[in-house]
Amino acid sequence: MERQRSYNGRRNIDERPKNRSQCRLQRSSSLPPVARAPPPPPPPNQLKLAAMAIDLNVRLRSADMPLAMQERAIRRARALVDANNPGITKPTQVAMCLKKEFDALYGPAWHCIVGKSFGSFVTHAGGGFLYFSVDKLCFLLFKTEVRPLVKPPSLHRLKINNA
């Protein structure tokens, strides 16, 4: 039995096979079903942080930081955003406050970037990176290592062109 073809060589829509089960691939029943264990529940501290983030309308994007430090950063950022006049948040001032607080609490060399649109590619010290958003404002908080100079560079070798 030959099927009718449309003028372009394809079957018409109404010419589809009536029994769709004929078109499906047959599964091999020789393999036993694989039993998968459910994933382990997250630790209670992570659940607490997730609940707090939902409550404060915060979205955690990426983190390499202890949970206690994450919580402090998120709570402080939310307070700084709420302390400003509604709709008039100054990202530079918010970044400065968050950076100074982390410098005082966790040592020097913290950096903070706050804004609605920015790109970044940073290197950070282990355990010192957090990227999150509060409402429509994004926060990038990270720490770098500070190494003291053993010998300062000599300045007399530099050639300065006075042109």
The CATH number that applies at residue 74 is 3.30.740.10
In a domain, 60, yes or no: yes
The answer to whether the beta carbons of residues 120 and 132 sit under 8 Å apart is no
In a domain, 92, yes or no: yes
Q: How many domains does the chain have?
A: 1
DSSP string, 70-107: HHHHHHHHHHHHHHSPTT---HHHHHHHHHHHHHHHH-
In a domain, 150, yes or no: no
In a domain, 106, yes or no: yes
d(CA 77, CA 58): 10
- Is the pLDDT higher at 23 or at 56? 56
In a domain, 37, yes or no: no
In the chain, % of residues over pLDDT 70: 69
In a domain, 118, yes or no: yes
CA neighbor of 131 nearest in space, from 79, 55, 53: 53
**What pLDDT score does 116 carry?**
93
Domain that holds residue 117: 44-143
Q: What is the pLDDT of residues 64-79, one digit of tens each?
A: 999 999 999 999 999 9
Residue 83, pLDDT > 90, answer no
**What pLDDT score does 100 carry?**
96
The contacts of residue 51 (CB under 8 Å, 6+ apart) are none
Residue 22, pLDDT > 70, answer no
In a domain, 30, yes or no: no
Residue 5, pLDDT > 80, answer no
State the chain's mean pLDDT as an integer: 79
Q: Copy the structure tokens of residue 138.
A: 């994004």
Angle among Cα 79, 85, 87 to the nearest 5 degrees reads 100
**What pLDDT score does 47 carry?**
74
**What pLDDT score does 84 carry?**
73
In a domain, 51, yes or no: yes
Stated length of the chain: 163
